[in-house]
Amino acid sequence: MIIEIDDNSGFCHGVVTAIRKAEEALQTEGCGPLYCLGDIVHNGMEVERLASLGLITIDHEQFLQLQGKRVLLRAHGEPPVTYQQADERGISLVDATCPVVLHLQQTIKKAYLESNPEDTQIVIYGKIGHAEVNGLVGQTAGSAIVVEGPDDLSKIDFTKNVKLFSQTTKSIDGFKDIVERIKLLMSPGRTFQFNDTICRQVANRIPKIVKFVALHDLVFFVSGAKSSNGRVLFNECKNHNDNIVMISGPQEIDFALLEGVSSVGICGATSTPKWLMEQVKKAIEDYLVKQTANA
Ligand code: SF4
């Protein structure tokens, strides 16, 4: 049986850098514990690995209780209020905000400052409550309108100008669809400015990953359930190979699926560590060895 790991799956640059910064900060002696505001990556097993090295994951409520500690901000970024709260509490930040997200935050802030709120709305195509989106909305003093899909377009007043941006991990097709719908709804004389701010680290993976999944009889897509990039990529993959299963790690493999299969593909999201995909491959190999020995 062929068992192949997709070369193009695994951490994006933003996540690699955030994890490297966490590991470096954990090795710095005499600085006390290192906290991380939210899961450093939407993958429980990588979070556990870093926890075993000393990284303590906290939520915003716990963050507000800290004084004079070190806190890492993950690749998703944070709104300005987080920096202010850190300052007030003497917290020293290890800022691992991805440069792509940082640039988007600055772009949205500039668009907000240059706009008159009376006649222009900043709209973000993204997931309501997602950490990156919260960081983006924070650039507009909370005024940006978040739309997850066509059903949310009723939140926009089309008699005003619209400046549209996208969360970095949304699908390009979904963004294009929203753009076309807004164009049709705009009132005459009003301007609609749309900015495709989708990260190509994610989008460029789609053509490669769908090619990969189409090559195999069965595919295991390894991803944490919380990863929005994981869901986008999984849905794209499913359109090209229906025999695909999402698992969070080797413990979730249903070995009965291997029956009658001659090639297995293993791929994952931008938040999936390579070592986890290798563990999945190893578990399948071990199972096959046992099956052969018992035959
Ligand atoms: S997906 Fe893109 S924007 Fe998001 S963390 Fe990775 S590199 Fe940065």
C-beta 233 within 6 A of ligand 1:
no
Angle 158-161-164 from CA coordinates, rounded to 5°: 95
Atom of ligand 1 nearest to the CA of 169: 1
**pTM for this predicted structure:** 0.87
Q: How far is CA 63 from the centre of its chain?
A: 22
Helix (H, G, I), strand (E, B) or coil at 159: coil
User: Distance between CA atoms of 203 and 192, rounded to whole angstroms?
Assistant: 24
pLDDT greater than 90 at residue 239: yes
Q: Would you give the DSSP letter of residue 250?
A: G
Atom of ligand 1 nearest to the CA of 201: 2
> CATH topology of 2-10+204-294 equal to that of 100-200?
yes
Domain 13-97 in CATH 3.40.50.11270: yes
Residue ranges of domains in the chain: 2-10+204-294, 13-97, 100-200
Distance from the CA of 261 to the center of ligand 1, in angstroms?
35
Mean pLDDT rounded to a whole number for the chain = 95
pLDDT of 201: 83
Question: What digits encode the pLDDT tens for the residues 66-124?
Answer: 999 999 999 999 999 999 999 999 999 999 999 999 999 999 999 999 999 999 999 99
Mutate to test the pocket of ligand 1, among 11, 39, 95, 100 (most ligand atoms within 8 A of CB): 100
Mean pLDDT calculated for residue range 182-188: 98
pLDDT of 42: 86
Question: What digits encode the pLDDT tens for the residues 247-282?
Answer: 999 999 999 999 999 999 999 998 899 999 999 999
Mutate to test the pocket of ligand 1, among 169, 172, 228 (most ligand atoms within 8 A of CB): 169
User: Distance between CA atoms of 124 and 146, rounded to whole angstroms?
Assistant: 5
pLDDT of 249: 94
- Residue 227 or 158, more confident: 158
Percent of the chain past pLDDT 90, that is, above it, reads 87
Distance from the CA of 255 to the center of ligand 1, in angstroms?
33
Which residue in this structure is represented by tokens 């709209």? 123
pLDDT greater than 90 at residue 232: no
pLDDT greater than 80 at residue 200: yes
pLDDT greater than 80 at residue 180: yes
- Confidence grade of residue 6 (pLDDT, cut at 50, 70, 90): very high
pLDDT of 228: 77
The residues assigned a catalytic role are 132
- Confidence grade of residue 197 (pLDDT, cut at 50, 70, 90): very high
User: Distance between CA atoms of 19 and 98, rounded to whole angstroms?
Assistant: 11
pLDDT of 181: 98
Atom of ligand 1 nearest to the CA of 99: 8
**CATH code of the region 2-10+204-294:** 3.40.1010.20
For ligand 1, atom 8, name the residue with the nearest CA: 14
C-beta 199 within 6 A of ligand 1:
yes
For ligand 1, atom 5, name the residue with the nearest CA: 14
The tokens describing 162, both together, are: 């619209």
pLDDT of 231: 87
Mean pLDDT calculated for residue range 226-244: 90
pLDDT greater than 80 at residue 157: yes
Element holding 283 (H helix, E strand): helix 274-294
Domain 100-200 in CATH 3.40.50.10860: no
Distance from the CA of 214 to the center of ligand 1, in angstroms?
25
Of 76, 54, 73, 51, the C-alpha closest to 227 is: 76
